[in-house]
Amino acid sequence: MNEIREDAAAPAPRAGRGGVDWHDPVLKARLAIRKRRERRLRLFGLLAVVFAFAMLGILVASLVRTGAPAFTQTHVTLRVHLDPKRIPPDNINRGNYRAVIKQAVLALFPEVKNRRKQREIVKIVSKGAPWILRDMVAANPDLVGRTITVDLPVSDPFDQLYKGLIDRSTPEAHRRLKDEAISRFDSLVARGLVRAKFNTYLFTNPDSRFPEIAGLGGAIMGSFYALLTCFVLSFPIGIAAAIWLEEFAPRNRLTDFVEININNLAAVPSVVFGLLGLAVFLGWFDLPRSAPFVGGMVLALMTLPTIIIATRTALKAVPPSIREAALGLGASRQQVVFDHVLPLAMPGILTGTIIGLAQALGETAPLLLIGMNAFITAIPDSPFAAATALPTQIYIWADSPERGFVSRTSAAILVLLGFLVLMNAVAIWLRQRTERRW
Amino acid sequence: MLASALVVILIASALGYWWNRRAAQALLEAGCHPHSTPRYHGLYAFLLVAVPSFLFLVFWLAFEGPIIDAVILAQLPDEVARQLDENGRRLLLSEIDALAVGRVFKEAEPWKHALAAERQRLEILADRALLGLVTLLAGAILLHARRRVSAAFRARQRAERIVSGIMIASALVAILTTLGIVASLMAEALRFFHKVPVAEFLFGLRWEPQIAIRADQVAGQGAFGWIPVLVGTLLITVIALVVAVPVGLLSAIYLNEFASPRFRRLAKPVLEILAGVPTIVYGFFAVLTVAPALRAAGVALGIPVSPNTALAAGSVMGIMLIPFISSFADDALSAVPRTLRDGSLALGATRGETMLKVLFPSAIPGIVGGVLLAVSRAIGETMIVVMAAGIIAKLTFNPLDSVTTVTVQIVTLLIGDTEFDNPKTLAAFALGLMLFLITLGINVVALKVVRRYRELYD
């Protein structure tokens, strides 16, 4: 008793009747320091959160800023005469479309006679334009012999110029486009022949060496096949494994080992899974290189732990009373699980699966190792055809020297992020719609 | 071929289901009391047909290619076969393969054309045999399953036993994956250590894997000491942690203790978005925005900054790890019992003091576990460093210099290279083995720490 009174009295000698003197300046100063410390901690915490937000903001902003131009493509309007002499009607695919386009472009500048300058002028139109024209004619062979007005994509430097990405004030020597080329292109603009259109090539075309006609069509199909394979393999296997571990497995060394194993597998670096795929699927089983099917198998091994863990959580969330009621009515243990527990856990399982697939969609390193970073100019027609995937396509474009690929890389990232947002939104929607509180 | 075989299996299984179910139904209607309901008789037949046929199909596909290759190799002209090594055989096989599908790059000798034709014949034969055998097998099992239908047959137990088998096999896939990782890494790494001594790899201070692949190529002798690569990895990891740990912990403290519920509801999903961004996006962000900014800052300050600094890669990796650490720390702080918090507040401590002197120290084990997991992630992270860090291994601790990492080396050594016989590609597997062991060790410790901590308060 005495001790307490002494302790209380010592720091506050002016305390009256055993209370604390709240007006004591020493106490007030100390309290002020303590409160300041708290405010500082609070401020630092807020700054940390703001820093994280700002980084996300800068990330998205820089991608949108560089990526936005790639969603449009500059086109030039040409009047092309599909000369039957150059495009034999009986062999449309063999026609000399380049010559036809050259003629149409040169017709815009009748005053230029110099061969070398003519060659410069032809460069305004994309080198991929002949194929576009060929596809048009192939779709409608009656066009041969007629003169048609078409919008064809301009080549990358002029596309950049039209979008204002080339600084006209830099000295000519440091510019890829010389003054003459710029003034010619400007005359086309003045004549109203140049126009920016929504870049459908970005979504429909396969990869190309020419940025203006390179697209994500092949990569999207490759990613689709890989994810499909991944889902077909990992979803049933993951659910079956989780059900066994959660509902049936006896508690012993073996099941403990399996469990630790799965937890560790979830944290193995993705590049190691790539090495596994390279050595086992490509090396030992001789499966085709660059095939989305192999990529999907590797992704399935990576997604498996995610699905198993999500399924177990969902199964755990189903209250035991459901199981007991079913058992009490005479159901077998498998009937309990498959007829009652599993349907109730399904929304949670699906949510976890979609999130796992979203992770798999963004995974790059394992796909690089099994060769899904090849330069492939065809859209894959089966899971066994060579293909790229969205993230590996981003990697290829990020490595390409052409300037047009910088904005296309950002655009491809935006497309990838769009798919991820979509998948996560579906997962959240599913969770909110079907969430059940027991 | 695969598709038609799968269709055959599916049709046979469905047929088995329907047939057995009808038979059991007939028994029921005839007045017998079958042990199991017709549904289970059907399910039994379905599984009995589907599982073995499917396994047969998978095994066939796994061994078809190698067996055809072996048959082709056995038919090589003697004088060719004698002078071929493992590598030459592979090349020859792929050449014959290309001939067989009609892709001819250069004029081939007539015997190659003959072998290509032989190969095509074998493949068609194998496809037909597969389809025939699958049909035969499925049909035989179908008949067998049908004969089992009787009132006394315990179809439910049999079917459930097959389902249990499927589930156990699925759980074993996880173990097989680990085994596959260990076996493949070990096998290739051992082949590497046959060519390069273990001691040189583990303690060597030079990493120059650019050795000659073709005999006539001009290149260095090659040196395979992984220390500089390891140091580069650790340097980038440390930079990442310097960014991620303070920011992650402070934001966890703020969100856990000070933020209003509304702000918390808004902030947590935003942090989750940061965690869900694919790493290749961070890699491109580092190249596009962070590295040029650092360079500009370096120029302004007059400090030489290399184009792909450890700092750029490390700091972007740190941003990636912020949500990881913050969510781990948040969970750990929330797991501290309410009584500790209330007790501290009741004694007159401010909320800040409660956080720093009571909650945080109590949550330290959980936080340490989370930070360890973040370390293992940083070491194993690939795409950010592949895009933003360097390729040349330099033994330096300067964050403004360019360093390389284990994962960068794995990727650069293996891209576009499939020959498994030179030290350059095998080195990637040795690095992969080290990476796997390091991350596994950290993960085991981290998971143990986290679990023990959870037990402390549960």
Task: Tell me the pLDDT tens digit for each residue of A83-92.
Answer: 888 888 787 7
Q: Return the structure tokens found at A8.
A: 């209380």
| B contacts of A418 (beta carbons < 8 Å) | none
Q: Which of A59, A63, A148, A68 is nearest to A100 (CA)?
A: A148
Express each pLDDT in B147-156 by its tens digit: 888 888 898 9
E strand or H helix that includes residue A77: strand A72-81
Q: How far apart are CA B193 and CA A143, in angstroms?
A: 66
Q: A172 in a domain, yes or no? A: yes
Check whether residue A257 and residue A302 sit in a common domain.
Answer: yes
Q: Which of chain B's residues have a Cβ under 8 Å away from the Cβ of A409?
A: 284
Q: Is A60 domain-assigned?
A: no
* Lowest mean pLDDT segment, chosen from A83-97, A379-393, B353-367: A83-97
CB B24 within 8 A of CB B43: no
Relative orientation angle of helices A390-399 and A404-434, to the nearest 10 degrees? 160
Q: How far is A37 from chain B (nearest CA, A)?
A: 7
Mean pLDDT in residue range B390-415: 87
User: A320-372 pLDDT, tens per residue?
Assistant: 999 999 999 999 999 999 999 999 999 899 999 999 999 999 999 999 999 88
Burial class (CB in 10 A: 0-12, 13-18, 19+), A425: exposed
What six digits make up the tokens of B30? 């005839």
For chain A, counts of helices (H) and of strands (E): 18, 3
Look at A286 and B415 and tell me if their CB atoms are within 8 Å: no
- Statement: residue B211 has pLDDT above 60: no
Buried b (16+ CB within 10 A) or exposed e, A179-211: eebbebbeebeeeebbeeeebebbeebbbbeeb
Question: Residue B156: its chain A contacts at CB < 8 A?
Answer: 332
Distance between alpha carbon A380 and the CA centroid of its chain, in Å? Answer: 19
CB–CB contact A238 B170 (8 Å): yes
The last residue of a domain, from among A143, A169, A201: A201
Å between B147 CA and nearest CA of chain A = 25
**Does residue B167 belong to the interface with chain A, where contact is any CB pair within 8 Å?**
yes
Question: Mean pLDDT across the stretch A277-281?
Answer: 90
Q: How far is CA B48 from CA A19, A29, A236, B22, B78, in A?
A: 84, 82, 18, 17, 47
Query: Which residues on chain A are in Cβ contact (under 8 Å) with B273?
Result: 56
Which of B258, B283, B353 lies nearest to residue A34, judging by beta carbons? B353
Domain boundary among A201, A225, A243: A201
3-state SS assignment for residue B224:
strand
Q: What is the mean predicted confidence (pLDDT) over A180-194? A: 88
Closest residue by Cα to residue B154 from B49, B46, B41: B41
By CB neighbour count within 10 A (0-12 exposed, 13-18 middle, 19+ buried), where does B294 fall?
buried
A54, part of any domain: no
The residue segments making up the domain with residue A89 are: 70-201
Give chain A positions within 8 Å (CB) of B279. Answer: 362, 364
Using the 3D structure, point to which of A201, A230, A250 is the last residue of a domain: A201
User: CA-CA distance, B313 to B285, in Å (whole number)?
Assistant: 10
Least CB–CB distance from A420: residue in B274, B276, B377: B276
Nearest to B285 among A62, A263, A363 (CB): A62
- Of A11 and A44, the structure prediction assigns the larger pLDDT to A44
Our measurement of the distance from residue A57's CA atom to the centroid of its chain's CA atoms, rounded to an integer in Å, reads 17
- On whether residue A411 sits in a domain, the answer given is yes
pLDDT at B104 over 70: no
pLDDT at A67: 92
Residues of A in contact with B276 (CB under 8 A): 358-359, 362, 420, 424
Asked if B171 is an interface residue toward chain A (Cβ–Cβ < 8 A), one would say yes
Q: Classify the C-alpha dihedral A410-A413-A417-A423 as positive or negative.
A: positive
Shared domain for A165 and A234, answered yes or no, is: no
Inter-chain CB proximity A365 and B386 less than 8 Å: yes
Are A123 and A240 within one domain? no
User: pLDDT category, A8, cuts 50, 70, 90?
Assistant: very low
Residues 70-109 of B with CB under 8 A from A: none
% of residues, chain B, pLDDT over 70: 93
**Which domains are delineated in chain B?**
2-194 (no CATH), 223-457 (1.10.3720.10)
Assign B371 a pLDDT band (cuts: 50, 70, 90).
very high
CA A127/CA A124 separation, integer angstroms: 9
Q: Looking at CA atoms only, how far is residue B200 from chain A in angstroms? A: 23
Strand-by-strand arrangement of the A72-81 sheet = A147-153, A72-81, A194-198
Q: Is the per-residue pLDDT at A118 higher than 90?
A: no
- Cβ distance B410 to A271 less than 8 Å, yes or no, reads yes
| Domain identity same for A120 and A226 | no
What secondary structure letter does DSSP report for A436?
Answer: -
- Interface probe with B: pick from A27, A31, A36, A271, most Cβ of B within 10 Å: A271
Maximum CA pair distance of chain B?
97
Does A269 contact B379 at a Cβ distance shorter than 8 Å?
yes
By residue count, chain B amounts to 458
* Least-confidence region, from B20-24, B79-83, B403-407: B79-83
Name which of A172-181, A295-304, A366-375, B436-445 the model is least confident about: A172-181
Q: Are B208 and B374 in contact (CB under 8 A)?
A: no
- Smallest Cα distance from B286 to chain A, Å: 9
In three-state secondary structure terms, B119 is: helix
Q: What is the DSSP letter of A378?
A: S
Q: For residue B221, name the pLDDT band (cuts at 50, 70, 90).
A: low
Distances (CA, A) of B37 to A326, B19, B20, B162: 18, 14, 11, 17
Q: Which residues of B touch A233 (CB under 8 A)?
A: none
Cα–Cα distance, B140 to B49 (Å, whole number): 9
B100 or A41: which carries more pLDDT confidence? A41
* CB nearest to B65's CB, from A44, A243, A286: A286
- Do A192 and A243 fall into the same domain? no
Q: Could you say which DSSP state residue A329 is in?
A: T
A275, B432: Cβ pair inside 8 Å? yes
Interface test with chain B among A33, A34, A37, A38, by most B beta carbons within 10 Å: A38
Helix (H) or strand (E) holding B240: helix B227-253
Among chain A residues, the shortest Cα distance to B159 is held by A334
Does residue A313 share a domain with residue A183? no
Asked if residue A418 is part of any domain, the answer here is yes
- Position with higher pLDDT, B92 vs B312: B312
Instruction: Tell me which of A224-238, B218-232, B266-280 is least confident.
Output: B218-232
CB-CB under 8 Å, A424 with B278:
no
Same domain, A190 and A271: no
What mean pLDDT comes out for the span B79-89?
Answer: 72
**Does the pLDDT at position B419 exceed 80?**
no
Q: Which residue has the higher pLDDT, B355 or B109?
A: B355
A291 near B CB under 8 A? no
In the predicted structure, residue A235 carries a pLDDT above the cut 90:
yes
- Window 148-177 of A: residues touching B by CB (8 A cutoff) are none
Q: Does A76 lie in the same domain as A110?
A: yes
pLDDT > 90 fraction of chain A, expressed in percent and rounded: 48
In a domain, A26, yes or no: no
DSSP H stretches of helix in B30-109 = 38-74, 78-82, 86-100
Residue reference for tokens 């695969």: B2
Nearest-angstrom CA–CA distance, B423 and B211 = 8
Both tokens assigned to B315: 């700091």
Q: Find, in chain A, the residue whose alpha carbon is nearest to that of B352.
A: A38
Residue A295 has pLDDT above 90, yes or no: yes
Q: Quick one: A185 and A272 in the same domain?
A: no
Residues in CB range of A263: below 8 A, 6 or more apart? A305, A309, B443, B447
- Within 8 A by CB and 6+ apart from A194, the residues are A74, A75, A76, A77, A154, A162, A185, A188
Q: Domain for residue A42, yes or no?
A: no
Residue of A nearest to B282 (CA): A59
Domain shared by A270 and A339, yes or no: yes
For residue A246, how many other CB atoms are within 10 A of its CB? Answer: 19
A108-122, A328-342, A404-418: the lowest-pLDDT one: A108-122
This model of the complex carries an ipTM of: 0.88
Nearest CA in chain B to A406: B288
Q: How confident is the model over B168-199, as pLDDT tens digits?
A: 999 999 889 999 999 999 998 999 898 888 88
The reply to whether A120 falls in a domain is: yes
Are A174 and A272 within one domain?
A: no
Q: Provide, as residue numbers in chain B, all residues whose Cβ is less than 8 Å from the Cβ of A257.
A: 175
Q: Any chain B CB within 8 A of the CB of A363?
A: yes
Closest residue, chain A, to B171 (C-alpha): A241
Indicate if A122 and A250 belong to the same structural domain. no
pLDDT at A312 (0 to 100): 94
**Residue A339's Cα: distance from chain center in Å?**
38
The per-residue pLDDT for range B224-234, each reduced to its tens digit, is: 888 999 999 99
Q: Which of B185, B251, B258 sits opposite A275 (nearest CB)?
A: B185
Domain total for chain A? Answer: 2
Phi, psi for A70 (deg, rounded to 5): -75, -10
What is the least distance, in Å, from the CA of A181 to any CA of chain B?
29
> How many percent of chain B have pLDDT more than 90?
47
Distance from CA of A318 to the nearest CA of B (A): 20
Which of B237, B265, B383, B435 to probe by mutation at the A interface, max A CB count within 10 Å? B383
Token digits of residue B180: 């596959």
For residue B217, pLDDT beyond 60: no
Mean pLDDT of chain B: 87
CATH number at residue A342: 1.10.3720.10
Predicted confidence band of residue A3 (pLDDT cuts 50, 70, 90): very low
Residue A407 and residue B44: Cα distance in Å, rounded?
Answer: 57
pLDDT of B411 higher than 70:
yes
- Cβ separation of A395 and B164 shorter than 8 Å? no
Which residues is A125 bridged to in the sheet? A154
Residue of A202, A57, A373 whose CA lies nearest to B277: A57
Mean pLDDT of chain A, nearest integer: 88
Identify from A30, A41, A230 which residue to disrupt to test chain B contact, counting B C-beta atoms within 10 A and taking the largest count.
Answer: A41
CA-to-CA distance for B420 and A39, rounded, in angstroms?
A: 61
pLDDT at B107: 67
* Chain B residues lying within 8 Å of A265, measured CB to CB: 174, 177-178
Dist CA B316 CA B240 (whole Å): 7
Interface residue of B281, B425, B454 to substitute, partner A, most A CBs within 10 Å: B281
pLDDT tens per residue across span A127-158: 888 888 888 888 888 888 888 898 999 998 89
Q: Which two tokens stand for residue B151?
A: 């009132």
d(CA A12, CA A377): 84
Shortest Cα distance from A26 to chain B (angstroms)?
17
Position A1 scores a pLDDT of 41
Tell me the pLDDT band of A16, cut-offs 50, 70 and 90.
low
**Distance (Å) from the C-alpha of residue A184 to the closest C-alpha of chain B?**
32
Residue B348, min C-alpha distance to chain A (Å) = 11
| CA atoms of A359 and B280, how far apart (whole Å) | 12
Distance CA B396, CA B8 (A): 62
pLDDT for the residue numbered B341 = 92
Q: Which of B8, B297, B230 is nearest to B134 (CA)?
A: B8
What is the spatial distance between Cα A368 and Cα A66, in angstroms, rounded to a whole number? Answer: 25
DSSP-based three-state secondary structure for B418: coil
